[in-house]
Structure 1
Amino acid sequence: MITNIGVKAQEPEKKEQDSIYINEIERKKPAKILHAEPLYIDLIRDLGARKGEKEWNVGFGITDRNMYDEYEALVEYEWAPMDRLGLEVELPFSIYPSGMNGNAPSSKLNSLKIAGQYSFFVSEKFNTSMAIGYIHELEMTEFVNYGTEQLFTGNVYNPFYIVAKRWGSNFHSLLYTGPQFLHHFSNGLVETNWQINSNFHYMISGTRNFIGIELNKNVGTDYFDMTIRPQMRLGIMDNLLIGIVAGVPISRDNERFSTFLRLIYEPGHRK
């Protein structure tokens, strides 16, 4: 009897913790719904972003490419200049350590990446948000070619659509999808593929921590790739979080397992 009473007493407490934390996010105006944000292919800014929000991200990862290892790094800054509008600037790197066999590419700054996202629908009644956005990348040549070849090698055009819903207090789902158009300057060739990223997360009661899974799908005219990315996010301080991601591809022709770590710093965030 005592054990059962203890369990029953904890359930209202957990619900109260969730309600207090969700209320801290959602009580201000304009309306904003608390959603869990994926860690590998993240959003430009929170859905329903409020003016003045900002965030720094630093990411590190390693991927087994069968014949060689690829190390990735990124630095990004995102901010909201007005309500519901998020902007982002990102520098993504691919690094291949010296001493690898001749199959490995050369290290490079992949691109200069700028992006915008606007939340056009925020429903407190349905705990649902929707957004549209656009990412533009100026692809760059390898470091070894600086000064001898054209610095920028192409453009990537990527419009996208996002819909997210929170189910109750803890469960979150999100769909992020859109086409990518790759335009190569050297031959004028344009490649097209679709990204379809579905996400499911469980946020721990009364915290910003969550566990979940990200399903990153890439669809082309004659291929389909998917990487399953289990992940977790932990709050280290009020304004500092860490995201840990593992990657498991369904096909191992071009890559095997991968890992990714994201540090998230929110200047000015208050508990």
Structure 2
Amino acid sequence: MKKMILLALAGWAHLCAYAQENSDTLRNQRQVLDSLFIEEVENPKVSLKPKVLHAEPLYIDLIRDLGARKGEKEWNIAVGMQDMRKYDEFQALIEYEWAPVDRLGMEVELPLSLYSFRDGSRESTTPANRLESLKVATQYTFLVSEKTSTSLALGYIHEFELVDLNKMGGDGVFKGNIFNPFLVVAKRWGSNYHTLIYTGPKIEKAYGEEADFGFEVNYNLHYMVSGTRNFIGMEINQEIHGGRSNTTLRPQMRVGLAHNLMIGIVSAIPISQPDAGLGSFLRIIYEPGFKALH
């Protein structure tokens, strides 16, 4: 009996040691993949400007990667839906990003909003369908610290607001401007965890009307899966306007479909907003010319 117990204990100890060895091996493999991928982005074999790998939020995204390198480019196509209680808001956009020189990103975007009553109801009015604006933007990464895995950037978005679609044939096409300077602060903690703050004022000035001032703060926390650009995370969008603050939680994930093609999936959870319900957002990201070496 004692011999059987000793054999069982020995077998259990061997099994535990084997499981621990496999766990250590997998952990080491993940660490190696992380190191190789980060090394590929931050220290390529050819001589390029320093760059730190950061996770980019999916709803309010950056103009280009922080520390962008000359020649980088990206196409984005996105669609979304937001429950506005009495009607639904449908969003769509197409944008093109590129880096004409090191650390400078540029972007052109066309956002579209369409509205539909829910369940055939006509108890309220909906906003007019519209091509929101012609949006042009720039972003410059003025600090790249490889030692602290930190990047800082300044940017500016200018939107030429367009009239409603049903007024496009009238006297004018543009109805005003939106001015939006912003600051980005991003840091990677170790190999997997990424934090980012995106903030700045937003000033809307319609022709013949007084300027409307607001402020935006966007907080981001992401976990990037070992050895990939896939991540899960939380984007928190806060708008401060007229003494009131509206906050929306956007849990999200990004998955690579190919070395230069990714898809981002976002949910919207408004906080203390009685006129807004749940929403969703889907972004397709295509990077022509991008090649992964790992």
Q: TM-score, normalised by structure 2?
A: 0.90
Higher helix residue share: 2
Counterpart of 1:259?
Answer: 280
Query: SS of the counterpart of 2:24?
Result: helix
Query: SS of the counterpart of 2:55?
Result: coil
CA drift of 1:36 comes to 0.1
Match of 2:217 among 174, 196, 218: 196
Query: SS of the counterpart of 1:4?
Result: helix
Q: TM-score, normalised by structure 1?
A: 0.97
Point out where structure 1 has 5 or more consecutive residues left out of the alignment: none
Query: SS of the counterpart of 2:68?
Result: coil
Matched to 2:128, the amino acid is S
CA drift of 1:47 comes to 0.1
Give yes or no for the alignment of 1:269 onto 2:269.
no
Give yes or no for the alignment of 1:125 onto 2:141.
no
CA drift of 1:150 comes to 2.9
Residue deviations 1:110-167 (CA, integer Å, cap 9, x gap): 0000000000000000000000000000111111111225321110000000010000
User: Distance between the aligned counterparts of 2:40 and 2:73, measured in 1?
Assistant: 17
Counterpart of 2:9?
Answer: none
Trace 1:208-227 onto structure 2 (pairs within 5 A): 208-227=229-248
Counterpart of 2:20?
Answer: 4
Query: SS of the counterpart of 2:111?
Result: strand
User: Distance between the aligned counterparts of 1:42 and 1:232, measured in 2?
Assistant: 13
Contact kept, 8 Å, 2:246 with 2:273, in 1: the verdict is no
Match of 1:31 among 47, 50, 53: 50
User: Distance between the aligned counterparts of 1:175 and 1:85, measured in 2?
Assistant: 19
Match of 1:136 among 154, 158, 178: 158
Query: How many residues are aligned here?
Result: 270
CA drift of 1:188 comes to 2.2
After TM superposition, the structure 1 stretch with the greater mean CA deviation from structure 2, 257-266 or 138-147, is 138-147
- Percent of residue pairs identical: 51
Residue deviations 1:217-263 (CA, integer Å, cap 9, x gap): 00123210000000000000111000000000102322110100000
Residue deviations 1:165-191 (CA, integer Å, cap 9, x gap): 000000000000000011011x32101
Trace 1:208-247 onto structure 2 (pairs within 5 A): 208-247=229-268
Contact kept, 8 Å, 2:87 with 2:116, in 1: the verdict is no
Residue deviations 1:73-97 (CA, integer Å, cap 9, x gap): 0000000000000000000000124
Give yes or no for the alignment of 1:69 onto 2:85.
no
After TM superposition, the structure 1 stretch with the greater mean CA deviation from structure 2, 133-142 or 100-109, is 100-109
After TM superposition, the structure 1 stretch with the greater mean CA deviation from structure 2, 48-57 or 5-14, is 5-14
CA RMSD of aligned residues (A): 1.1
Point out where structure 2 has 5 or more consecutive residues left out of the alignment: 1-16
